[in-house]
Chain A
Amino acid sequence: MKWRYFKQHLFFWIVKASIALIALSLGGLLVYIFVHGFSALSWDFLTEPPRDAMTKGGIMPAILGTFYLMTGAIIVALPLGVMSAVYLSEYSKQNRILRTIRIGINCLAGVPSVVFGLFGLGLFVVYLKFGSSILSGSLTLGILILPTIIGASEEALKSVPQTFREASLALGVSKWQTIYRIVLPNALPGILTGSILGLGRAAGETAPIMFTAAAFFTAKLPTSIFDEVMALPYHIYVLATAGTRIEETRPIQYGTALVLIALVLGIDLIAILFRSYMRRRKSW
């Protein structure tokens, strides 16, 4: 009896300690970045371009660049991902080909992001001659987040009750109209939430944009999708590794990291708020 009591408590403490460890490391990370980065933050830091070989000034071009790349990535990935998910969830029959496709998508999700970067370099930058540009970077990031968007969309489509589909089809409404008018509108909140979360991941990626879109430094802002841009994650990487004055730019590195983390958490927060808002409105 006593031994069992002890075992029960032991395991309880082990699981408790695991979660505490995770919370602590996440919290520690956030606090560390915040403490080191906060002093760098100012209105000028957010609105000015870098100056004096990037040892002074702000990070406005990088913020803008990341914003452009994210917008581009979602424009590329959302339609493609949702349409793939519609095929997988509504049209395909359960067979070997479908299982192969599924394995393929899961593999895509596991591919290291630097491989996406090289793929983007080969296909978009060199072969299709888009150059290092917003377009190439968006396409590469778009492919990177496709598995996330397909997964989220498929889940959302599956959560629409089968009875809605039957009711519509039994009225003599075609399958496509049923999907377009009933299934997709009801799956949309889930699709969007999943996509926004996927986008948060894309915002922080460095490797995929390193060869395809990101500029070491450019003072001029992009005027077309064929221009290079600066981007937050790449800016941190450049300042922390490639410069000759790494120590001098430390505060800017932390400041940029803080802005990037705030951006990603902000995006996730929007997704979470949106989801809880739609859940409250959902009536089935």
Chain B
Amino acid sequence: MVDKLNHDGSIIAVEHVNFFYGTFKALTDIHMLFKKNAVTALIGPSGCGKSTLLRLLNRMNDLIDGTRVEGRVYFEGLNMYDPNIDPVEIRKKIGMVFQKPNPFPKSIYNNIVYGPKLTGMNNKNDLNALVEKTLKQSVLWDEVKDILDQSALRLSGGQQQRLCIARALAMNPDVLLMDEPTSALDPISTAKIEELIDELKTDYTIIIVTHNMQQAARVSDETGFFYLGKLIEYNETKKIFTKPDLKQTEDYITGRFG
């Protein structure tokens, strides 16, 4: 029996989670609810554990030898760290976009249909429709509709990142995790991705790690501030950036440390 729990209005619930790389404790007693169809930003200085937490939410940390999780993480009421849960199924529901755009060395078209094909979608018309739909969602369609057979590696960095978002959307996930998705991009590409995040939140729950304060303020509804593996303050973005509860949060946001 998979351990179940109800958390009203939230899609992911992190409960008393500790995380270890070997003997190093990277996260301490994290307790956090992520709201459905909202954008949540995770901020904090380098090494504070925000990316670790993000990768914990679709079990990507499983891939690193010698890591250990304590506590529970619920996704739609199911504990995703229950031994009966297959991480592959979790990752279908919780997609991820990485810091550096990482398209496969395949055509634009094949980048998008790669996942769906492997999960049994084989009808040519369905696949074509999916490619068009996801590329439109990621606002890339107009730029690439005539070159779908071209290698994805020939696109610009910003285009590649939007392709990676389309590729993640093609699996029809509920949640999209973004790990500093714009840190390798120029300001114009960054602006495009931020607009995109705003549009996507009607259909998806988005959790984004960012080093960029303005970005967190612009795109997110909720913000969690991390420091030394602890969640210091978690509140509505508006409140965090105008009247944070804690002095430490204010110091970080105003650039007094970090």
Give the interface of A toward B (CB within 8 A).
93-94, 161, 163-174, 177, 181-182, 186, 282-284
A-B contacts besides A171-B114, A177-B118, 13 pairs, CB < 8 Å: A166-B63, A166-B102, A167-B98, A167-B103, A167-B164, A168-B104, A170-B91, A171-B91, A171-B92, A172-B89, A172-B92, A172-B115, A181-B118
Query: Contacts of A284 on B, CB cut-off 8 Å?
Result: 105, 153
Q: Name the one of A165, A171, A181, A186 contacting B168, with C-beta atoms under 8 angstroms.
A: A171
Q: Interface size class for chain B?
A: 20 to 34
Cβ proximity bits B104-144 to A, threshold 8 Å, 1 near / 0 not: 11000000001100110000000000000000000000000
- The A interface is mostly helix, strand or loop, or mixed, namely helix
Q: When the two chains form their complex, are residues B91 and A167 in contact, meaning their CB atoms are under 8 A apart?
A: no
Q: Name the one of B58, B63, B90, B115 contacting A173, with C-beta atoms under 8 angstroms.
A: B115
- The B interface is mostly helix, strand or loop, or mixed, namely helix
Give the interface of B toward A (CB within 8 A).
58, 60, 63, 65, 88-93, 95-96, 98, 100, 102-105, 114-115, 118-119, 151, 153-154, 164, 167-168, 171
Cα distance, A59 to B124, chains bound together (Å): 55
Cα distance, A38 to B114, chains bound together (Å): 55
Q: When the two chains form their complex, are residues A171 and B65 in contact, meaning their CB atoms are under 8 A apart?
A: no
A283: min CB distance to chain B, Å: 5
Task: Name the CB-closest residue of A to B153.
Answer: A283
Q: When the two chains form their complex, are residues A164 and B104 in contact, meaning their CB atoms are under 8 A apart?
A: yes
Q: Name the one of A163, A166, A283 contacting B60, with C-beta atoms under 8 angstroms.
A: A166
- Supply 5 A–B pairs (Cβ within 8 Å), ascending by A: A93-B65, A166-B60, A170-B168, A171-B168, A284-B105
Task: Name the CB-closest residue of A to B167.
Answer: A171
Cα distance, A181 to B117, chains bound together (Å): 11
Given A163-B98, A163-B102, A181-B114, A170:B60 Cβ within 8 A: yes
Cα distance, A174 to B120, chains bound together (Å): 13
Cα distance, A118 to B98, chains bound together (Å): 54
Given A163-B102, A167-B164, A172:B60 Cβ within 8 A: no
